[in-house]
Amino acid sequence: MYIKIPYKYTEQIIPKRCRKPRRVISHGEISLSIHEVTGEEAPVAIRQYTKTFTEDHYEPTIIEYRWLNHRLWTLHTFNRFSHGPYETQTAQQFVQDPWPMTSSHFSTSYQSQRGNRRGLMAWARGILFIDGKRWYQAGEPRYVIMTFGLGHNHGHPGTSLSSDTYYNTNISNSRYFRIDQHDKALETAIAIAERRGDDMAIPFIKDYHDTFD
């Protein structure tokens, strides 16, 4: 699939009868290639079983991670306003509205033409259509233990066992666990909660953490 994206950029122009360059906003357009494959070409590598809070209750949710070109991809979902329903995007919808969450794309008129084009090409490489639906490049899912507040249930629940697809440098790498280290992650999270006095967090750690296969 090819899609044309208009953009603005800044260049230095020396006007007639002038000696010093001035910043001038110009318009450009780039044709981007978006990769499209079938589900057979990008098989499911990981399934994440989680719970999504909907209105007033938790609803079981399955997140699939597919494998293609040595990368993981997951379905692109978005909501147009806070607490709004989550939507997906087809190829036809993408061509009509590549940035459904905003009124414009991330490129800025203050960048050079080269900078904008490089940014847009990098953005396009992170998009994949599988069986006509939009997916995006994702990191490897991992378990992470986080603590909040001063302990003894302050900042309830105080201690949590959740999952993430990127590494937060504010959290020690010893608090991250591979998805095949479920038992170790659970045991460590409970031990940390007990040590901090976050006894109210333990039921949440046991019952509301994600699982993978």
Q: How many domains does the chain have?
A: 2
Of 90, 109, 138, the residue at which a domain comes to its end is 138
Of 120, 138, 156, the residue at which a domain comes to its end is 138
- Which residues span the domain enclosing 165? 142-212
Kindly state whether residues 44 and 128 are assigned to the same domain. yes
Whether residue 20 lies inside any domain: the answer is no
* Chain centroid to CA 196: 31
What pLDDT is recorded for position 79? Answer: 85
CA distance 163 to 142: 5
Does residue 88 carry a pLDDT above 90? yes
Whether residue 64 lies inside any domain: the answer is yes
Is residue 15 reached through a cis peptide bond, with omega within 30 degrees of 0 on the bond before it? no
pLDDT tens string 92-117:
999 999 988 765 555 677 889 999 99
Kindly state whether residues 102 and 170 are assigned to the same domain. no
Kindly state whether residues 124 and 67 are assigned to the same domain. yes
Kindly state whether residues 133 and 157 are assigned to the same domain. no
CA distance 193 to 207: 14
Whether residue 12 lies inside any domain: the answer is no
Q: Which long-range contacts (CB under 8 A, 24 or more apart) does 145-149 make?
A: 145/175, 145/177, 145/185, 145/188, 145/189, 145/192, 146/171, 146/175, 147/192, 147/196, 147/198
Whether residue 9 lies inside any domain: the answer is no
Whether residue 23 lies inside any domain: the answer is no
Kindly state whether residues 111 and 148 are assigned to the same domain. no
Of 138, 160, 191, the residue at which a domain comes to its end is 138
Q: Which two tokens mark 21? A: 């360059």
Whether residue 147 lies inside any domain: the answer is yes
Kindly state whether residues 125 and 199 are assigned to the same domain. no
| Strand (E) or helix (H) holding 114 | helix 113-125
Type of residue found at 203:
P
Kindly state whether residues 115 and 176 are assigned to the same domain. no
Does residue 133 carry a pLDDT above 80? yes
Q: Which two tokens mark 88? A: 């997906």
What pLDDT is recorded for position 89? Answer: 96
Kindly state whether residues 48 and 77 are assigned to the same domain. yes
What pLDDT is recorded for position 57? Answer: 79
pLDDT tens string 32-49:
999 999 999 999 999 999
pTM for this prediction: 0.88
Kindly state whether residues 105 and 128 are assigned to the same domain. yes
What pLDDT is recorded for position 104? Answer: 53
What pLDDT is recorded for position 103? Answer: 53
Q: What is the mean pLDDT of the chain?
A: 92
Torsion-angle region of residue 110: left (phi > 0), alpha (psi -120 to 50) or beta? alpha
What pLDDT is recorded for position 39? Answer: 98
Whether residue 98 lies inside any domain: the answer is yes
Kindly state whether residues 132 and 69 are assigned to the same domain. yes
Kindly state whether residues 168 and 114 are assigned to the same domain. no
Kindly state whether residues 182 and 197 are assigned to the same domain. yes
Does residue 134 carry a pLDDT above 70? yes
Whether residue 15 lies inside any domain: the answer is no
In sequence order, what are the beta bridge partners of 128? 35, 135
Q: Are strands 133-138 and 159-164 parallel, antiparallel or unpaired?
A: unpaired
Nearest Cα neighbor of 187 from 199, 205, 203, 211 is 205
Contact 87, 97 (CB under 8 A): no
